Structure 1
């Protein structure tokens, strides 16, 4: 890689690392898996850097795929406790409810495909077409998964007696 390209890549990573980590975390719900996915993506992106036209869109797409790939690895399926115990929401002892934690916990209960669509549409603020392109799905599939994902998210939040935020 040429020196100017390398510096451009460094600037990209400095500017977008936290956004990519957040995207990966919202998709998988685990910081370690998110970090693994992002580091894998950045190492692959470094090699292809000069041939990528839209690096952030490309990186987002690669992160989504890397999270799915990470979840498929055999050692990721090994658990020492039941999945239900791992996904329980933490109770705030001071009785102060943080809306972000509740929405995140509710988001983890949504199926992975719908969760990916919701994260891209509402966290990354992508259009239906951009989300479809990123996930390799048709716009109609993205629309239906958005509707089903939002319905599932609303149902979980309603079961917790949480007022649904206006953005959901």
Structure 2
């Protein structure tokens, strides 16, 4: 089986869905966010500070991309990350590409549930992070993060349980396999 990429904005459910897929498909799960967090720690910065720092230092994103590209090229992996689908697409690496969408208020609620904090503070942090990422991806890669045309499936997770999201993914994968597209 080729790899699977899964991306989405913070709180959209990518990690939860990736973990369920990992169990169902018995594939390793690699989370690019962990690599980014580890790099931020190495630099002694918060995620927000590191994101701003990365806006002026494209070599950091490039290093992270190379790692993701190598992981995808090995195949048989679930790679979770905002750019994972684009890395697969741009490098011609076969993968089933998933993008998860979700209403902002629901994403804020989910992040608060996971990490704590006040609603407006968490919303501000998420918006700042998304703005920084959108700028970096546009400036460094000429990627419009609103363009979901490269994905095999786009799912709005706002009102559905993670298990239902996984069911939709499995159905789409089965459909594509039967058509010889996966």
- Higher RCO (Cα < 8 Å, 6 or more apart): 2
Q: Larger Rg: 1 or 2?
A: 1
Which one has the bigger strand percentage?
A: 2
TM-score (norm 2): 0.29
Which one has the bigger helix percentage?
A: 1
